[in-house]
Structure 1
């Protein structure tokens, strides 16, 4: 007989759950820093959405995860070399290059790693393609991968699909992600929704808090 398969929205498991923040870096989040969008002012949809919705929601997720013993990981777009010779061909062609010495390439203070939280530099849209995150997650015993970040229709999309293909139960926190437009965000969620459980910050926050209660029992 076939074994009973899990649901994508099955309860998170203590010691087997991780929160991954994707590309939450100053260069993308602070107006005037992104060389690809010099025309975007502080009132652009993306900056308003990340400032007013996404970052506050991620702060809630981080607080609940840290208080409940949920593993927290961060990924950022960053070359390993100052001249970017190690980056992917796609990043060379785009071009995207954030040297390791660039302070603006790090997360903003309110989302910065705490303690020994793992931060992984990548030079591709998909973290599974250009880092050892799969190896790390398996070493950590992770089954449930909770994803939030930017851009919904690019690096978040790749993370969700690749994570699902590698056997993780992936959750995407919709209101803790953003794309340059609301339409792009919504279309992306519909497109990759079959690979994950799409839910909201309040639901995941409550689940993290429940894990803390279980762990403290």
Structure 2
């Protein structure tokens, strides 16, 4: 237990939620990885994953969003998306792996159920960690963010990459495990075990209690 990392959230203006890659490319029937797939034709080895997204991840993230918006915290999003029409800007790993999400496509958008509202920011990335291919660190510093709640897909890939980089960059990271998902429960648990030294692991219910106690008096930092 670390007293600093385990300190409850207290200041909405210094707290942000980062939603990682909950996008049509990897999380919706009929698009991207699930093009031409319906619930009835979904392969058995992907049923756990899609069920977890629909029954846990989406409603839990939505609850966090609603409550954090109420107290004035920032909500940010990242999705995999090419910056160029032909994807030449992609990382070498993404080119080798065949990850190619067209610029401006539906697949590059956040699922409607938890999408950005008003002027909430979305960062298009071409690496596993959002911190390696976007200016998100610069933006978080400008916003005065110190505490970062990270949720999304996949627990053992882009989520864990963002968690580790955020920690190394000096942010205090919180991960509600029931707001994350990957293809199997074993992979999910393995990833959580690896993140323990980089973040505070919790769940949505506990985090909602903390948010409910946060002061709404602290204004967002302005120049």
TM-score between both structures, scaled by the size of structure 2? 0.89
- Unpaired stretches in structure 1, ≥5 consecutive residues: none
Q: Partner of 1:203: helix, strand, or coil?
A: helix
Deviation, 1:211, is: 2.0
Q: Paired residue for 2:170?
A: 167
Deviation, 1:110, is: 1.1
Q: Paired residue for 1:47?
A: 50
Q: Within the alignment, does 1:126 sit opposite 2:133 as a pair?
A: no
Q: Deviations over 1:129-166 (max 9, x none)?
A: 01111111111001100000000000000010000000
Deviation, 1:105, is: 1.9
Q: Paired residue for 2:61?
A: 58
The range that moved more, 48-57 or 205-214, is: 205-214
CA distance in 1, matches of 2:27, 2:59: 13
- Equivalent of 1:82 in 78, 85, 90: 85
Q: Within the alignment, does 1:9 sit opposite 2:6 as a pair?
A: yes
Q: Paired residue for 2:22?
A: 24
Q: Paired residue for 1:93?
A: 96
The alpha-carbon distance between structure 1 residues 182 and 11, as it changes in their structure 2 partners (threshold 3 A), is: same
The range that moved more, 83-92 or 42-51, is: 42-51
CA distance in 1, matches of 2:43, 2:152: 19
Q: Which contiguous aligned blocks of 4+ residues in structure 1 show a shift greater than 3 angstroms?
A: 34-40, 212-216
Conserved in 1, the CA contact under 8 Å of 2:32 and 2:107?
no
CA distance in 1, matches of 2:8, 2:180: 22
- Unpaired stretches in structure 2, ≥5 consecutive residues: none
Q: CA RMSD in A?
A: 2.0
The alpha-carbon distance between structure 1 residues 58 and 174, as it changes in their structure 2 partners (threshold 3 A), is: same
Q: How many aligned positions are there?
A: 212
Q: Paired residue for 2:109?
A: 106
TM-score between both structures, scaled by the size of structure 1? 0.91
